[in-house]
Amino acid sequence: MHFFVSVLLTSSLWWILTEGAQAWWIGGPAVLLASYVATRLHHTDSQRINWLQVPLFALFFLAQSLKAGVDVAVRTLRIRPAINPGTLYYRTSLPPGTARYLFGSIVGLFPGTLCTDFDHDQVILHVLDTNADIAMDCRKLERRIARLFSLPPTPVPPTSRNKETQS
């Protein structure tokens, strides 16, 4: 069933991207290959999305994208840029797998923040301003992702610490 749904969704995406039924001799094999890979990956992770939370998460995603773009532009376009770059470690309570990788991808939408690696339950972040309260934004994102995947809240308090600061 998952393969059929994947083929249907991927075919729809191909239809939209090519503006109709064009180049199916390329799209057909690509759709089948993408659906096969999606089906294989689907069975390796037990975390399921709560589809009722997707619209709220999408709004959060768009708001953070806009906020990050404005913040970085304001910081970097000043005569004296307001930046203090460095590396921060953030302890996540999200379980390994899709939810944690989504966190690593989405955290890059916070102003001047980029996930560079994972170290057990630590997310390693490169930030433009080590003085900003990145941990608060990360906790908000974690709560949203936990709701998106219907994960129970965990008692482990997330923290961040400054590993190195570059001036």
Residue 140's CATH number: 3.30.70
**Encoded tokens for 158:** 């997330």
Whether the Cβ atoms of residue 105 and residue 115 lie closer than 8 Å to each other: yes
Amino acid at 104: G
The pLDDT value given to residue 2:
64
The pLDDT value given to residue 90:
93
Q: Answer yes or no: do 79 and 129 share one domain.
A: yes
| Structural domain boundaries enclosing 29 | 2-42
Tokens 């890979």 identify what position?
37
The pLDDT value given to residue 163:
52
Q: Answer yes or no: do 36 and 58 share one domain.
A: no
The pLDDT value given to residue 160:
47
Q: Which residues of the chain have pLDDT under 70?
A: 1-3, 20-22, 24, 41-47, 153-167
The total of structural domains in the chain comes to: 2
Whether the Cβ atoms of residue 61 and residue 106 lie closer than 8 Å to each other: yes
The pLDDT value given to residue 158:
43
Whether the Cβ atoms of residue 15 and residue 24 lie closer than 8 Å to each other: no
Q: Answer yes or no: do 110 and 58 share one domain.
A: yes
SS3 call for 106: helix
Number of CB atoms found within 10 A of residue 62's CB: 11
Model-wide pTM > 0.75:
no
